[in-house]
Structure 1
Amino acid sequence: MSKKEIITKFSVIVGGVWLLAWGGLACADPGPLPSVSQELPQTLRQALAQANVPASEVSVVVWGVHEPQPRLAWEAQTPRNPASVMKLVTTLAALENWGPAKTWRTEVRVPRLEAQRGQGPFGVIGVGDPGLTLERWQELWRQVYQQGVHQLSGPIRFDQEGFAPSASSPDTFDQEGFRAYNVIPHALQVGQQTQWWFIRPGERVGEPLRIWPEFPFPQIELRNRTRTVDGPCPALWRSGLHYAIRAKFPGQAMISHPDRHLDAGAILKLTGTMPQACGTRLMGFSLLTNAAYLDSSLRTLWHELGGTFTGTLSQGPVPRDWPVLASSESPALIELLLQMNKNSNNVLARTLLLDLATDGPDSAGVATESAGRAKVLRILAERGLVFPELVLENGAGLSRKARISAEHLAHLLLWMQEKSLYGNEFMTTLPLVNVDGTLRHSFEDPQLRGRFHLKSGTLEGVKALAGYGLDAQDHWVVVVFLANGTGAGGTEAAQEALLRWVYHESKIPQSGAPPDATVLPAPNPLR
């Protein structure tokens, strides 16, 4: 069958109505790709063979921006788990719903502004602020202190009613319920409910590692049983370290995630080794419940400000008509998306999904993940991006159930550059290959540096890449690679082979592309 015969006109039936093709005037789903996929490049096939990965376990799409059909499509319609690449769906929904300048404001409220003097009560309403760091939490209460409130003797209430309690537990995904990436979002959540530890090798081999917290939580006790060793730093620097967590007080059952028994006292025991070559690193744990984290952090920060604390803290509703005593505004959405995608921040992505559920005239006012998923699907459908196979679950890709096809990931990426007002912002949030974020040290070929903006995803049995790159003629193309299967973890060389093929061999088809095929900004000069 000839290439011309393979490339058929795209169409799809939605609700009995034929939608227009991708190149048409309407923003409709471009429909299925040709029924017969193209052959994979030989170098990619060789890399898969060397890794003992069947080609049937991999989906690949390469599609030039503003081109009517893909240059390469292999197993493109097969639904696969994309791991953290699913954050691209959340990023599109957030940018299209709010625009890049959206912010969230966290406020301290009181019944009366006059003569507060710390008598209280005080209230903080959770608004789903995804950027509420410990630094901003301190800034918020510093404003209170600077208004003459030096003794907090009145009750302080934290209103968490913006988000419905999650049905899942932090240890549901991989039984690692204390790890920072598994934190469950709350409407009022500081520092993503995580304590970060600096870890540095000793000056001499055999010495214990030097470990100290970024922020002190009196409830948490560290027991350091580590040792410095010689040798190179492994790619997964913490592979030689192990942790165990238990409650300080005897008689408690085994605990696998933040729990009220740990709020009264937790012991973090670190054992194992780390090479001197690794230098100083950060490792995060979430050992306290959200309520205890808010309580402990506020007491510590207030003491650091010079104030005294004799009041009580509780969870409960705060009247919406109380005046604002102090406020702190989050960074703009675009800055938060940079953090989310560059560093693959799961908690941020899950928080944004819940925030989407609270926004709009049909919002019930209390966010659930199911409502967030429904809002994302509606945003996609309004833009003609109808993906029947899509399983979103939590918006972060930290899921065994998540599914999307390479074809539809390509459609999403193309739409953002061809139709959206925020295509440049969308691309900017993605890591630059061999430059920053999760792809800082990804591939061996130095020529790939800075030529690709890609989101990566990795789970057990899943390896994924999706984003944009410059082809052999310096034209922008969409690149999608999804591998699912027992050998997926060994497909790094296959990913690099695909990127090298795009850079060295992929060109605009001779049939030509529209005149506006190169309207995107000039490539980053870092390569």
Structure 2
Amino acid sequence: MGNATLRPTMNLRKLFLFVFISAHMVAGAPHKSAAARSRTSLAKAIDVILEDPAISRAHWGISVTTLEGKPLYAFNDGQSFEPASNAKLFTTAAAFAVFSPATRFTTKVISRGSIDPQGTLDGDIILEGAGDPSISGRSWPYAGKTERPDPPLQALDALADQVVKSGMVRRVTGRVVGDDRWFPFERYGAGWGWDDLQWEYGAPVSALSVNDNVVYLDLMPGEKPGDPIAATWNPPVPYYALENGALTGPAAPKPELGLDRQPGSKIVRLYGVLPVNSKGVHLALAIEDPAEFAALAFRQILIDHGIAVVGASAAEHSFPFSTTEFLKEVKMPLPSNLASGRPLAAPVEASAERVLATYASPPLSQDLMVVNKVSQNLHAELILHDLGRSVLNDGSTAAGARVVRQFLMQAGVDPSDFLFFDGSGLSPQDLITPRAATTLLVYAARQPWGGEFRATLPIAGVDGTLAARFQQSPVKAKLLAKTGTLAEVNTLSGYLTTRSGKTVVLSILCNDHDPAGDGARKATDRIIEAIYAAL
């Protein structure tokens, strides 16, 4: 009887447990199927976009994850792509990890030689760089767009003012020297196109960088067709020689001008036609040797401030000495975890040298915002070199790339998922996978500096390189992402708040698209909108 009584009780309990679990499984099923349906819907929408004949022959890779890193959608996410300026995400994230956001760079004016009681410096006056990207007329902090309210050489003017007010030097018997030895003399990244080097986006890297290492050439038409066009340099430093063969043409909707400067040359050749009704053309040309240009400009500024200078201007460089193959050096482990602490100003080397003036940059966080918001190539390269100099006491490209690599490995990015030869993404040899970008972005979101890092990214339809995109889209102001563009490369990686209110992490990389037209960009925008709607 005892056993007969127990058995029905046990069966009832099992039956109740079965009904309870089944009910909860049925209740939970719609939630799981809804999420699955969203991912399926997204996959189908992206398939349709990528089947468009205008972009179907391009190489696409996509990674979408939750803010915690859970995969939501992947397409070729483990394949390698040229990142273009998406490389700046990796450089700037490493900078946030290594440096304090309040870090400043200091440029010095130093006397080299003895100074007599009358203020005669028997020797050289040195303008000594330490990797500061801010020596220009650019306004700080960034406020929605690039503004240059101050003269290009205002920082050099401020340094000359300090020298005069110190009262120590009134005459220099020697030279004015631009000293960029804080970094090795490695002006260009591996694989940079020679036809990029004359323009602002291909400006050379130097520890002594002035006005973003460019000069502006302002062109205005003459009074009537056939007249020569007027050309002026800003700043008016006699660095380049202009061969001006361009003429004023009849009224037309746009100019037909050509400009050429061969690598290593200081002769700029201008040709073509500028319509008589033109409001003018403004060109930014890269400097050949930034330290040389800085010395030439500073010498004239010192003279204008009443300091007599007998000698000429000159540049002092520290040439590379490493014979280690680049990739082998980059893959060497660091001696310890990432740590800064080195002063970001070149040390005064000898007792005969005296600091006459200093110029401190804005906080590094402000420049990191410029790098990502407007995709400033030179500043990204300077930050890469600053990383190497600070962590390894070596301001070379390889040392900077080595620091970035170590940081990314610590962030959980697979070392086979990235390869960097520069800091800006201008090198066609740079490679990343889409999942490398999303892994980095997920990691950054969890760091104490994650909010500041995210704030450096362009906002869709609002500012930076995304100001003109997504203007009429539901994505406007909900996407914070870094753009990347080369001739056949279009990339976009960042954070998106979707229609459901969730934040997802995404990376869309497109290589080998037709460089004529903007089909790849339009397809990328449609993919973003599909992700927004589905998730």
Q: Same fold (TM over 0.5)?
A: yes
C-alpha distance in 2 between matches for 1:429 and 1:280: 33
Counterpart CA distance in 2 for 1:241 and 1:310 is 41
Q: Is the 8 A contact 1:170 1:177 kept in 2?
A: no
The code of the aligned residue for 1:52 comes to A
Q: Give 1:215's match in structure 2, choosing from 223, 232, 235.
A: 235
Alignment CA distance shift 1:145-1:407 (3 Å) = same
CA contact (8 A) 1:176 1:182 kept: yes
Residue range with higher mean Cα deviation, 208-217 or 296-305: 208-217
| Distance 1:404-1:159 versus aligned 2 partners, 3 A rule | same
Gaps spanning 5+ residues in structure 2: where? 1-28, 33-38, 137-152, 318-347
Partner of residue 463 from structure 2, selected from 436, 443, 446? 436
Structure 1 residues 48 and 207: alpha-carbon distance in aligned structure 2, compared to 1, 3 A threshold: farther
Deviations 1:386-428 (A, max 9, x none): 331311101110011111100110011111112x111111111
Q: Secondary structure at the match of 2:294?
A: helix
DSSP-derived class of the 2:127 partner: strand
Distance 2:48 2:300 in 1: 57
| Residue pair 1:136, 1:328 contacting (<8 A) in 2 also | yes
Counterpart for residue 119 of structure 2: 117
- Counterpart mapping for 1:373-522 below 5 A: 373-418=401-446, 420-443=447-470, 445-487=472-514, 490-503=519-532, 505-507=533-535
Answering whether residue 247 of structure 2 is matched by residue 225 of structure 1, we say yes
Deviation at 1:432, TM superposition (A): 1.7
Q: 2:260 aligns with which of 232, 239, 244?
A: 244
| Distance (whole Å) between structure 2 residues aligned to residue 474 and residue 401 of structure 1 | 38
Residue 208 of structure 2 aligns with an amino acid whose one-letter code is: L
In the TM superposition, structure 1's runs of 4+ consecutive aligned residues that sit over 6 Å from their partners are 200-210, 274-277
Contact 2:59 2:513 in 1 (8 A): no
Q: Read off the aligned partner of 1:54 and give its amino acid letter.
A: S
Deviation at 1:468, TM superposition (A): 1.5
Question: For the residues of structure 1 that align with 2:135 and 2:430, how far apart are their CA atoms?
Answer: 28
Alignment of 1:332 onto 2:363: yes
Instruction: Give the secondary structure class of the aligned counterpart of 1:456.
Output: strand
Equivalent position of 2:93 in the other structure:
92
1:136 to 134, 137, 155: 155
* Most deviating of 103-112 and 421-430: 103-112
Matches within 5 A, 1:153-302: 153-166=173-186, 168=188, 172-198=192-218, 211-222=231-242, 223=244, 224-225=246-247, 227=249, 229-231=251-253, 240-245=256-261, 256-259=262-265, 262=266, 266-273=267-274, 282-302=282-302
Q: CA deviation at 1:326?
A: 0.7
Match status 1:356 vs 2:387:
yes
Q: Structure 2 CA distance, aligned partners of 1:506 and 1:280?
A: 47
1:319 aligns with 2:325: no
Cα gap change, 1:170 to 1:41, in 2 (>3 Å)? closer
Q: What is the count of residue pairs matched by the alignment?
A: 445
Instruction: Give the whole-Å Cα distance in 1 for the aligned partners of 2:525 and 2:105.
Output: 39
Structure 1 residues 3-42: aligned runs within 5 Å: 41-42=43-44
**RMSD over aligned Cα, in angstroms?**
3.3
Higher helix share: 2
Alignment-mate amino acid for residue 129 of structure 1: D
Classify 1:299/1:123 alpha carbon distance in 2 versus 1 (closer, same or farther; 3 Å). closer
Looking at structure 1, the residues matched to 45 and 119 of structure 2 have their Cα atoms a distance apart, in angstroms, of 71
Residues 274 and 39 of structure 1: CA distance in aligned 2, closer, same or farther (over 3 Å): farther
Q: Is the 8 A contact 2:458 2:481 kept in 1?
A: yes
Change (3 A) 1:156 1:112: same
The DSSP-based 3-state class of the residue aligned with 1:71 is strand
Q: Give the whole-Å Cα distance in 2 for the aligned partners of 1:387 and 1:275.
A: 56
Distance 1:229 1:449, change over 3 A: farther
Using the TM superposition, give the Cα deviation of residue 164 of structure 1 relative to its aligned residue in structure 2, in angstroms.
Answer: 1.8
Q: Give the share of equivalent positions with the same residue, in percent.
A: 24
- Using a 3 Å threshold, how does the CA distance of structure 1 residues 55 and 112 change in structure 2: closer, same or farther? same
Taking a change above 3 Å as real, the CA distance of residues 76 and 201 of structure 1, as seen in their structure-2 partners, is farther
Q: Which amino acid aligns with 1:159?
A: D
CA distance 1:170–1:498, change in 2 (3 Å):
closer
Question: Is residue 47–residue 493 contact of structure 1 (8 Å, CA) maintained in 2?
Answer: no
Q: Could you tell me how far apart the structure 2 residues matched to 1:337 and 1:72 are?
A: 30
Per-residue deviation, 1:282: 3.9
Give the corresponding residue for 1:83. 84
CA spacing shift, 1:171–1:191, aligned 2, 3 Å: farther
Partner SS for 2:423: coil
Partner of 1:370: 398
- Contact in 2 for aligned 1:433/1:442 (Cα 8 Å): yes
Q: Letter of the aligned partner of 2:530 in structure 1?
A: W
8 Å Cα contact 2:247-2:274 kept in structure 1: no
Q: Looking at CA atoms only, which structure, 1 or 2, has the larger radius of gyration?
A: 2
Are 1:38 and 1:72, in contact at CA under 8 Å, matched by a contact in 2? no
Q: Within 2, Cα distance between the matches of 1:116 and 1:479?
A: 65
Quote the offset at 1:448 in angstroms. 3.2
The question of 1:62 aligning with 2:90 is answered no
Is the CA contact 1:207–1:228 (under 8 Å) kept in the aligned structure 2? Answer: no
Query: In 2, Cα distance between the equivalents of 1:109 and 1:465?
Result: 44
Distance 1:490 1:201, change over 3 A: farther
Q: 1:337 to 1:353 in 2, by over 3 A?
A: same
Uncovered stretches (5+) of structure 1, i.e. residues with no partner: 8-36, 246-255, 508-527
How many angstroms apart in 2 are the aligned matches of 1:348 and 1:167? Answer: 13
Task: Tell me: CA distance 1:76–1:267, structure 2 relative to 1, closer, same or farther (3 Å).
Answer: closer
State the Cα distance separating 1:208 from its structure 2 match.
Answer: 7.7
Q: What TM-score results when the alignment is normalised by the length of structure 2?
A: 0.74
Task: Assess if the C-alpha contact under 8 Å between 2:179 and 2:316 holds in 1.
Answer: yes
* 2: CA distance, partners of 1:138 / 1:102: 23
SS at match of 1:163: strand
The C-alpha deviation readout for 1:184-208, integer Å capped at 9, x for no partner, is 2122222232102345678999998
Distance of 1:302 and 1:211 partners within structure 2: 26
CA distance, structure 2, for counterparts of residue 487 and residue 184 of structure 1: 29
Deviations 1:458-505 (A, max 9, x none): 1122110111222102332222110011337521211111222233x1
Q: With structure 1 as the length reference, what TM-score do the two structures score?
A: 0.75
For 1:125, the aligned partner's letter is E
Question: 2:274, 2:297 → 1: CA distance?
Answer: 31
- 1:341 and 2:372 correspond: yes
* Aligned equivalents of 2:211, 2:93: Cα separation in 1: 25
* Pair 425,241 (structure 1): closer, same or farther in 2 beyond 3 Å: farther
With 124-133 and 368-377 compared, the bigger mean Cα shift is at 124-133
Map 1:37-52 to 2 at 5 A: 41-52=43-54
Say which SS state the counterpart of residue 357 (structure 2) adopts.
Answer: strand
Task: Indicate the larger mover: 205-214 or 455-464.
Answer: 205-214
